[in-house]
Amino acid sequence: MDIGTPPSNREELIMFGYAGKTLRVDISDGKVSTEPLSDRLIRDYIGGRGFAARILYDELKPGISPLGPDNKIVVASGPLAGLFLPAGGKLTFASKSPATNSYGDSNVGGHLAAEIKYAGYDVIIIEGVSSKPVYLYINNDKVEIRNAHKYWGKGTITSEDIIKNDLGREFEIAVIGPAGENKVKFACISHDFGRQAGRTGIGAVMGSKNLKAIAVKGSKSLKPADPDKLLSIGKKAFADCIKHPAWKIWLEQGTAGVTVWSNEQGSFPTRNFQSGYFEDYKKISGEVMVKETIVNNKACFGCPMACGKYARTNKNGKDYYVEGPEYETSAMIGGDCAIGNIRDLTYANYICDELGIDTISGGSVAAFAMECYEKGILTKQDTGGVELKFGDIKAFEHIMNLICRREGLGNILAEGVKTASEKIGKGSEKFAMQVKGLEISGYESRKAPAMLLSYMTCDIGAHHNRAWAIIHDIQAGRDVIAGKSKKVIELQHIRPLFDMLGCCRLQWVELELSLDYYPQLMNAAIGKNYTMDELLKASERVWNLTRLFLIREYEKTFGRHFDYPPTRVYENGVISGPTAGSKIKKEDIERLLDEYYQRRGWDKNGRPTPEKLKELGL
C-alpha cells in the first residue's frame, strides 16, 4: 500500500497550511533527508496520527521488537498546528508500542508542534539506533545528531532546563528521563516543563535508540490559503470560547475541576479500582489546588483555556515546581494509590515527571503493587523492606525509583501491570487493570458501559481520550447496554480527528465550540473544500488501519478476547461510593462487543470485513 508518488516539482510549490515536508533521520549513521508530503497522504490521512498510522503500517515489518533497532518513531503534527485558532498545538508521537506490541501513539500539547512546523516540517521520522547517547538538533534546515552524554541520566525537568541554557531558551524540547533511558514500558516523553506524550511507552522507544531529546527552533512562516478568512474565523472561534460559561472555571482549575464531579459520579478510580469513590477527594480537588499550590496558569500554544496549572509544593524543606496534578494524575495517583493530600500528590506528580514516567500507567502500576501487598501476594521481602501501603507517599516514591532503575521488584513492574501480573501470578492477573497491555486511565466504568466499551476497544489500549463516553452513560442511563456502541463509535471518529488536525479537542468537549469550525479552519488554511463528513471518514479510515496493525501483529492469536476488560470488572463489585455494588455481567460485555463490531462493519472476531476495507479505500 504505497502512499502515492509526490509530484517532482512539489518543492517549488507553496504548500498552504502544512509546512510541506517530512524530515527523515537515521540516528545510526546520522543520515538526514527530506521528502515532500504526498497528495494522497494529505487527502486520505489529513495529518498527525493519521500520517503516523499510515507511515508505520507501511514501513514497519510485522513482528519487530518495539525496543529493537527496526522500530521507528514518527513525530507528526497536522494542518491546523501552529496556526491562528484556539489551541493549534497538538503533536503526535507514534511508534510500535512496547506496552501493547501494536500501533501506539500519544499526543502532547505545549509549543513543540508549532515550532516543528515553523522549522519547516510536518513529520519527523526517526530510524535506527545510536551507539551512544545523542539528541536530535533541528534549527530550520540545519539538522544534526549531537552528543547527549551530558544530559543522560538526568530528569526531564532538569535536562530540559540545561538543554535550553545550552542552546537558547527559544528552543522547544522533547526529552526523556531515566525511566525512558532504562526502557520502562510506560516511560513518557516530556516537553515544556510539564506536558507529556505520556501513553504507550514511546519514551522507552526513544531510550532504546539512545535518543535523549529532540530540540527544535524554527523561524519560517506558515502560509494559509486564505489568510483573511483564517483571521476572521479564528477570531470568532476565540470569542466563542471566551464567552462560554465554563471558560472561567477551566482557566482557574483546569482538568482538576473534574475531580469533585468524578467522585460524585462514583467514577474515580480508587485503590486500584476497588472503588469509584475516594473519601479524601475534597483534599485534592481543583479548589484546594487554587488555594494551596497553583502559582500560575500555563497554556499550550494558542489555547484560551490554559488547563495547565503550574504548581509548587514543599517537601523536607525544599520547594518543588511541577505542572499539575491534572485530573488523570489526581485519579491514578490521588485516588488509585490513595494519596489524599494535595502537597504529597503534587510531589508524587513531580517524581513521575522528573523520572519520565506516565502518571496514568505509573499510578496504575503502583496501585497494583499496593493491592498485591495488601493481599499478601507481595511482602516486605519483595519490596526491599518497605511497607507498600496505599496512601503512603514514601512507599510510592520508593516503588517509582525501583521501577525507574529496574531494580528487584521494580524490574518486574517496569513491564506494566499485564506482564507484571503474569510474572507475579497468585491471582493478581484478575486485578491488573489494563486492556491490550495498556493500563486503564482515570474512569471507573463498571456502571458506565459506554465508557467501558471505549476502554475495551480503544486502538492503543485502555485510554480515555478516544471516546470519553461517560457523559453519554449518565445521559442515556448507566445500566443501559443496547445502543451504547453508537455513541462510542461516533466519539472514536470525532475525538481522534483532533489528533489528526493538530489541535486540542477540549475547546469542543468543554466549551462546546462548534464542530463546524474545524472544516472551515482547515479549508481556510489549506485551500481545499473538506466537509466534516469527509474528515470523519478519514478518521474512520485511520481507526480501521490501526486495527489492521493490531491484527497483523497478532495474526495467529487474534480474536475478540483482545477487547476484553480485566476480570475485576465482572467479578468484583465497586466497594464503596455512589456506584457501590456495581459490576457488569460477562454476557453484557459480549453484547457490547457484538453490537460494536456489527456497527463498525467488523466480523464477530473483531476483524474489519473486506467490504468495510473497500469502502474506506484500505
Partner 1 sequence: MYLDADARKCTGCRVCLTICSLYHFKEVNPKKAALSIDAKFPKPGKYEPLICNQCGICASVCPVEAISENNGVYIIDPDKCNGCGECVKECPTQVMFLHEDSPVPIKCDLCKECIPVCAPGVLFVKE
Question: By the criterion CB under 8 A, which residues form the site for partner 1?
Answer: 82-84, 111, 114, 118, 157, 160-161, 169, 192-193, 219-224, 227-228, 230-231, 234-235, 238-239, 241-242, 247, 251, 295-306, 308, 310, 312, 321
How many alpha carbons fall within 13 Å on the CB side of residue 66?
A: 24
* Of residues 186 and 301, the one with the C-beta less far from partner 1: 301
* Of residues 238 and 468, the one with the C-beta less far from partner 1: 238
* Of residues 79 and 496, the one with the C-beta less far from partner 1: 79
Q: What is the secondary structure of 119-160 as a DSSP string?
A: TT-SEEEEES--SS-EEEEEETTEEEEEE-TTTTT--HHHHH
The Cα 19–Cα 119 span in angstroms is: 8
CA angle 499, 95, 307 (to 5 degrees): 35
* Of residues 296 and 514, the one with the C-beta less far from partner 1: 296
Per DSSP, 94 falls in state E
The Cα 72–Cα 80 span in angstroms is: 24
User: Minimum distance between the CB of residue 78 and partner 1, rounded to whole angstroms?
Assistant: 14
Q: Strand pairing partners for 135?
A: 146, 213
Three-state SS at 410: helix
* Of residues 310 and 570, the one with the C-beta less far from partner 1: 310
User: Minimum distance between the CB of residue 158 and partner 1, rounded to whole angstroms?
Assistant: 8
Rg (Cα) of the chain, in Å, rounded? Answer: 23
Tell me the three cell numbers of residue 233. Answer: 474565523
User: Minimum distance between the CB of residue 466 and partner 1, rounded to whole angstroms?
Assistant: 26
The Cα 380–Cα 409 span in angstroms is: 11
User: Minimum distance between the CB of residue 114 and partner 1, rounded to whole angstroms?
Assistant: 8
* Of residues 302 and 461, the one with the C-beta less far from partner 1: 302
User: Minimum distance between the CB of residue 281 and partner 1, rounded to whole angstroms?
Assistant: 26
The Cα 461–Cα 254 span in angstroms is: 25
User: Minimum distance between the CB of residue 25 and partner 1, rounded to whole angstroms?
Assistant: 24
* Of residues 233 and 337, the one with the C-beta less far from partner 1: 233
* Of residues 306 and 476, the one with the C-beta less far from partner 1: 306
* Of residues 266 and 304, the one with the C-beta less far from partner 1: 304
User: Minimum distance between the CB of residue 298 and partner 1, rounded to whole angstroms?
Assistant: 6
The Cα 463–Cα 439 span in angstroms is: 8
* Cβ-contact 581, 574 below 8 angstroms: yes
What are the backbone dihedrals phi and psi of residue 137, each rounded to the nearest 5 degrees, phi first?
A: -105, 125
User: Minimum distance between the CB of residue 188 and partner 1, rounded to whole angstroms?
Assistant: 17
User: Minimum distance between the CB of residue 348 and partner 1, rounded to whole angstroms?
Assistant: 17
108-136: buried (b, 16+ CB within 10 Å) or exposed (e) per residue?
Answer: bbbbbbbbbbbbbbbbbbbbbbbeebbbb
